Amino acid sequence: MAHPLLDSTKDKMDGAFRALEQQLDGVRTGKASPALVENITALYYGAPTRIRELGNIATPEPRLITITPYDPSAINEICKAILGANIGVTPVSDGRKVRVPIPELSEERRKELAKVTSRMAEEARVAVRNVRRDANDQAKKLQKDAQLTEDERDRLLDDIHKATDATIGKIDAAAKAKEAEVMSV
Could you report the per-residue pLDDT of 86-95, keeping only the tens digit for each?
Answer: 777 889 998 8
> Looking at residue 175, what is its pLDDT?
92
Per-residue pLDDT tens digits for 8-33: 999 999 999 999 988 888 776 767 77
Q: In the CATH hierarchy, which fold is given to the domain comprising 4-25+106-183?
A: Topoisomerase I; Chain A, domain 4 (1.10.132)
Number of C-beta neighbours around residue 170 at 10 A: 17
| pLDDT at 1 exceeding the cut of 60 | no
Chain center to CA of 153: 33
Domain positions in the chain are: 4-25+106-183, 34-101
Residues 172 and 154: their CA atoms lie apart, in Å, by 27
Is the CATH code 3.40.50.2000 the one for domain 34-101? no
Say if CB 86 and CB 50 are below 8 A apart. no
Please state, in angstroms and rounded to a whole number, the distance separating the CA atoms of residues 9 and 22.
Answer: 20
Other Cβ atoms closer than 10 A to 37: 25
pLDDT tens, 87-118? 778 899 988 899 988 888 778 878 888 888 89
pLDDT above 90 covers a percentage of the chain that reads 35
Could you read off the pLDDT of 26-79 as tens digits, one per residue? Answer: 776 767 778 888 888 998 888 999 988 999 999 888 888 999 999 888 898 999
Query: In angstroms, rounded to a whole number, what is the distance separating the alpha carbons of residues 146 and 164?
Result: 25
Residue whose C-alpha is closest to residue 99's, from 127, 133, 75, 122:
75
Model pTM score: 0.69
